[in-house]
Amino acid sequence: MYSVLNIIETALREDLGPGDITTNNLVPLDTEGKGIIIAREPLVIAGLDVAKQVFESLDPKVIIKPAYKDGDSIEGGEVVLEIEGRLHALLAGERTGLNFLQHLSGIATHVRSYADMLGDKNVQIVDTRKTTPGWLILEKYAVRVGGAYNHRMGLYDGVVIKANHIAVCGGVKNSIERIRNNVSHLVKIEVEVSDIDDVKEAIDAGADVIMLDCMTIDQIKEAVAFVDGRAVIEVAGKISKSDLIPLADTGVDIISIGALTHQATCVDMTMQINLMFDV
């Protein structure tokens, strides 16, 4: 599995190439300075440690002073982070550090608006695999910072039988029985269904989790009543904020929402740099 450091190194190589041609020809190598990252709008901060690793990758001696921790709500105009060290590292890492902070904080801010809407309702909001390629581990982290939960991380860590699997295997029951014979008894089996007949078939076949895909509120209520606690019930499919309370009130256990990641937008931050000594 790739690491956050791998993602940072890729981002820096992509931006720097053979070197920062502007900074390298303007600023003496040992010139030191101080940078402050400022929020330009209200947001939920996420990615502070990632930004820290960006600058430390360029100069291990930089001093990082975060003013907040991930998950904190910040007003516009507030200083988020201070960095002291060689200007070459500060200037070279500025855009990459901001890119991580703005993107991850954008997701956390977006997710928090969903979580706040549900309040103390007894249901979990989870993300999906609709993430930016290469950024999955970071985007799913930002979802947690925002107050929601993660679905499976990838195809390797959870069985989810989708409509195409069912079509290939010839039905819900066949799919569940076939995979039950091929995975450990410790692995839970989730199956995606779209009508009450498939719900009944999934329960009869022993599904652990049933995903109700694009079903109406009345269909969901009927499914919840039929399942009656015999399986975890997840709802999915084109869910907006306005759907959250009605869905939660049906008695489902989980609401999965791809929009937590793929519809989040970057928040606005800036970095200002000052000299500590004259050039």
**Do the beta carbons of residue 108 and residue 69 sit within 8 Å?**
no
Between CA 38 and CA 267 the distance in angstroms is 11
How many CA atoms lie within 13 Å of 212's alpha carbon, on the beta-carbon side?
31
The residue among 2, 1, 36, 4 whose CA lies nearest residue 100 is: 4
The token duo for 81 is 């982070």
Angle at 225 between CA 122 and CA 127, to 5 degrees: 40
Backbone angles phi, psi at 232, to 5 degrees: -75, 135
Backbone angles phi, psi at 254, to 5 degrees: -140, 140
> Catalytic residues, which ones?
95, 130, 162, 192, 213
**Do the beta carbons of residue 167 and residue 198 sit within 8 Å?**
no
